[in-house]
Copies of this chain bind each other. A is one copy, B any other.
Amino acid sequence: MTPLAHTALAEMTTPALLLDSTVLERNCEAMARRAARHGVALRPHLKTSKSAEVARLATRGHSGAITVSTVAEADYFARHGFLDLTYAVGIGAGKIDALHRIQRTHGARITLLADRVEAVRAAAERARAIGARFSLLIEVDTGGGRGGIAPDDDAALLAMAGEVQRSGVLSLAGVLTHAGHSYHAEGLAAIRAIAEAERAGAVRAAECLRAAGFTVDTVSVGATPTAVCAERLDGVTEMRPGVYTFFDLDQAARGICTMDDIALSVLATVIGHNPRSRRVLIDAGALALSKDESAAEFRDGLGFGLVCPVDGTAPLAGLRVAELHQEHGLIACDGNSNGSDGDSDSAMFEALPIGSRVRILPHHACMTAAPYDRYHVVRGTGASVHAVWGKAHGWHVAGPGA
């Protein structure tokens, strides 16, 4: 799929999702080395990119096992040859038929997740009815307060494992936890502490199950902040970070990465100047950028994203996407609120003439990338697209021709 390869960025239809493959490869290699150093497998979460090309880079030197968060992703990646999939969202019986079809059609092996006996029972009942079999991980809550059993709730852990074993159609793979709250922690020391709690909780749950005679092959942890900051992963078998492939302002704002590590941006065209409201208009709005402002928790002045020149060099000082409408983004410069900074306005209008292109760095790469159906791949400050990569989006499983 390369109809638009070699197109100059200055001539591209916008908005478009740009991916710098030089940065992407560096990010993938760094995480692969980190996992190897800790002696754990890397099962990258592909919910960020939803792309087979990214998955190939992210699993290089590892087993090819990946993590997904929708049935559509499971289907897409199985069609692209990724056959060892963990579907890391609590399973509902309504997903079993589609996941079974994916296993059968492609010879994939999908591992499910659950934290309640009722959920295991319902999934097993449906699997039995259609002749499906799955591995299953027990979800452990190591502080995020989303899904999962408390790591010291032995009774609940053992009840779950017993239910899985009795089902006849599910087999216990192990335990999984996700320290999602590490996204809201400031400072590397705080994230290091969360990483250790994530590790210790998952290992404790695994030990509880092993002590009762259950086999626990998988002890799975991971979020990008904890994967980057963890000092040790003793007892863990795999990590599942995702956003590290692309990084974003949210990660950069806390020092998990640098601005140079951000591989994803949105290419937009300047479509207007409004001197009265002191805004530059671009054709990338709330849908093209997302309204996510996660990094505002850690750093001021980012608006809905930072504005870089079309060659992808450092953000233009003092500029930010200040407002979003569905298909319009409004760029403002510092000092706009006092209504008197005519010089910086003139400089902004001069730097961003109508018809010029800019790259916007997003707060949260997963949110920004999701609605697009392709990446336009660039290399460093190169002025043209060297490849177009397809991706999954939405929740529905594509038809046989897709």
User: Does A310 lie at the interface of the complex (its beta carbon under 8 Å from any beta carbon of B)?
Assistant: no
CB distance from A349 to the nearest CB of B (A): 11
Q: Is the CB of B367 within 8 A of A327?
A: no
Q: Is the CB of B71 within 8 A of A13?
A: yes
Q: Is the CB of B279 within 8 A of A145?
A: yes
Q: Is the CB of A327 within 8 A of B94?
A: no
Q: Is the CB of B328 within 8 A of A147?
A: yes
State A270–B94 Cα separation when bound (angstroms): 11
Contact of A274 among B147, B270, B273, B286 (CB under 8 A): B147
Contacts A122-B355, A367-B286 known; A272 to B115 CB distance under 8 Å? yes
Q: Is the CB of A283 within 8 A of B146?
A: no
User: Does A335 lie at the interface of the complex (its beta carbon under 8 Å from any beta carbon of B)?
Assistant: no
Query: How many chain-A residues does the 8 Å CB contact rule pick out?
Result: 67
Q: Is the CB of A94 within 8 A of B11?
A: yes
Q: Is the CB of A118 within 8 A of B396?
A: no
Q: Which of A105-163 contact B (CB under 8 A)?
A: 115-116, 118-119, 122, 141, 145-148, 150
State A203–B277 Cα separation when bound (angstroms): 22
Q: Point out the residues of chain B lying under 8 angstroms from A14, CB to CB.
A: 92, 94, 395
Which of A233-241, A246-254, A369-377 lies at the interface?
A369-377
Contact of A271 among B119, B273, B394 (CB under 8 A): B119
State A13–B101 Cα separation when bound (angstroms): 14
Q: Point out the residues of chain B lying under 8 angstroms from A353, CB to CB.
A: 118
Q: Which of A191-237 contact B (CB under 8 A)?
A: none
State A286–B48 Cα separation when bound (angstroms): 13
CB distance from A231 to the nearest CB of B (A): 26
State A70–B16 Cα separation when bound (angstroms): 13
Q: Point out the residues of chain B lying under 8 angstroms from A276, CB to CB.
A: 141, 145, 150
Contact code string A321-346 (vs B, CB < 8 Å = 1, else 0) = 00101111010000000000000000
Q: Is the CB of A327 within 8 A of B70?
A: yes
CB distance from A56 to the nearest CB of B (A): 22
Q: Is the CB of A89 within 8 A of B283?
A: yes
Contact code string A248-280 (vs B, CB < 8 Å = 1, else 0) = 000000000000000000000111111011010
A–B complex contacts, Cβ < 8 Å, 26 sampled: A11-B94, A12-B94, A13-B98, A14-B395, A70-B327, A89-B327, A89-B328, A90-B281, A92-B355, A116-B354, A119-B272, A119-B355, A141-B277, A145-B274, A145-B279, A146-B274, A146-B277, A146-B325, A147-B274, A286-B292, A286-B367, A287-B367, A287-B370, A291-B291, A326-B366, A372-B395
Pairs A-B, 10 closest by C-beta atoms: A145-B277, A90-B271, A69-B327, A90-B272, A371-B371, A92-B269, A118-B354, A92-B271, A147-B272, A287-B370
